[in-house]
Amino acid sequence: MRLKSTTGAALAVAALLATGACVSQDANEASSDSALSGSGAGADCTIDETVKIGAVFSLTEAAAFAGAYQQEGLALGFEELNAAGGITYEVIQEDDKTTVEDSVAAFEKLINRDKVSAIVGPTLSNMAFTTYTDAQSAGVPALGVSTTAEGIPEIGDYIFRASLPEEVALAASIPAAKESLGLTKVAVLYDSADEFTTSAFNTIKDVLNEEGIEIVAEETFETADTDFAAQLTNVLEAEPDAVILSALPGATVPLVKQARSLGIEAPIVGGNAFNSPVLVGALEDAAEGLIVGGAWSAAADTTGNAEFIAAYTEKYGRAPDQFAAQAYTAAYLIDQAIRADCDANREAIKDNLGQILEYDSILGPISIDEEGEVHQEPVVQIVRDGAFTLL
């Protein structure tokens, strides 16, 4: 069935997996548990059994800058839904330690041992390409909230994302930068060792070509690199109007700082990975003028956004970022999918997640189609005085 527009919010990462090991018969039977079917529908839905939702985020190591916010946003969303009544949710949180191996193990546990109805996560796209394949084989709906690389929804019909694809974010940020800065030539730097950043690089080239912007320097590096002098020297000599950067935060901070130290004053344009106050804080003055495209802004006048920011800040003692906002929204999207038929079984969630139409969230109206792809309007922001501001 198709879900009507409602208020709530959030985007989250949902992913499930069974690893290379066989999924147990018990795990498959969890997807058709009659106790997870209730009475009524929509706001009147009541399910007696506690609904288990798995979450796999990077809470430690390299991607913890995002995973910690995601954990908090998702927890807040389900806390609010539990208070509303009718359905009781239990979130089973796992830390994948920013490694594929731990992400696979976490998915296997949630699917086979915990028998969750759905999984949100993982934090990074390069892990999702492995874990989502197993989730698909196990018949477990997986909802990604930061899995923005090209090809994620194509993994299978149990795979969804509520995270704005990187190609959409960049397709918004580059034209916006061109219009505001008058760009005619740019330098492009990207991490050639990561699936997310190489996917983004392909999008960058396409968008630049469509906008008639010349690439005067194209430089690569690898995720673990810390010295970018050679690449940045070539960029400096090319004298671009702006630098387009596709990098994970771990490389972004030293790269941007070294660019400014070397004398590169051109604006730097990026995508989803830049949308974190942690990154802006780490960059300090070097963050000024950074232009990013993404899914959420604290300044946006969307339904429930001000209330979300206030509740999050009160609960956690810090302001939310895009990662928190998308995870928070994910809780509400899963709730909508369950309430559509008042059924928390895996198959019902899978059927209804792909029918969400213009759900009125803190991200703005958001839809998920039958192929698992999210549809929403992107926002473009610029860092001014150390804070994100709508461009």
Do 190 and 255 fall into the same domain? yes
d(CA 24, CA 105): 15
The domain boundary residue, chosen from 252, 274, 294: 294
At residue 387, the pLDDT reads 87
Record the pTM. 0.86
Block residue for tokens 């492009």: 188
The domain boundary residue, chosen from 263, 294, 325: 294
In a domain, 120, yes or no: yes
Burial string for 300-309 (b: 16+ CB within 10 Å, else e) reads bebbbbeebb
Block residue for tokens 């539990």: 82
Domain range spanning residue 177?
Answer: 167-294
Q: State how far the alpha carbon of 297 is from the alpha carbons of 19, 156, 289, 307, 383, in Å.
A: 36, 30, 16, 14, 12
The domain boundary residue, chosen from 272, 294, 316: 294
At residue 157, the pLDDT reads 98
Do 159 and 48 fall into the same domain? yes
Q: State how far the alpha carbon of 156 is from the alpha carbons of 116, 181, 371, 373, in Å.
A: 19, 41, 8, 11
In a domain, 5, yes or no: no
Query: What does the radius of gyration of the chain's CA atoms come to, in whole angstroms?
Result: 21
Q: Strands across the sheet with 118-120, in order?
A: 89-95, 51-57, 118-120, 142-144, 159-161
Residues of the chain with pLDDT below 70 are 1-32
Provide the token pair at 348: 């019902």
Do 37 and 156 fall into the same domain? yes
d(CA 356, CA 38): 20
In a domain, 10, yes or no: no
Count of the separate structural domains present in the chain: 2
Render 255-293 in DSSP notation, one character per residue: HHHHHHHHT--S-EEE-GGG--HHHHHHHGGGGTT-EEE
Q: State how far the alpha carbon of 125 is from the alpha carbons of 215, 225, 278, 316, 382, in Å.
A: 27, 20, 20, 26, 25
In a domain, 15, yes or no: no
DSSP state of 31: G
Provide the token pair at 267: 């604006």
At residue 2, the pLDDT reads 32
At residue 32, the pLDDT reads 60
In a domain, 9, yes or no: no
- Amino acid sitting at position 141: P
Do 42 and 160 fall into the same domain? yes
Do 229 and 125 fall into the same domain? no
Q: What is the CATH number of the domain that holds 368?
A: 3.40.50.2300
Task: Say if CB 153 and CB 163 are below 8 A apart.
Answer: no
Kindly report the three-state secondary structure assignment for every residue of 112-127.
HHCCCCEEECCCCHHH
Do 101 and 222 fall into the same domain? no
In a domain, 26, yes or no: no
Do 139 and 245 fall into the same domain? no
Do 86 and 180 fall into the same domain? no
CB atoms under 10 Å from CB of 210, counted, come to 11
In a domain, 25, yes or no: no
Do 171 and 157 fall into the same domain? no
Dihedral sign for Cα 361, 80, 337, 329, please: positive
Do 69 and 38 fall into the same domain? yes
Do 159 and 49 fall into the same domain? yes
Do 40 and 158 fall into the same domain? yes
Instruction: Count the helix, strand and coil residues of the chain and give each as a percent rounded to the nearest 5.
Output: 45, 20, 35
In a domain, 386, yes or no: no
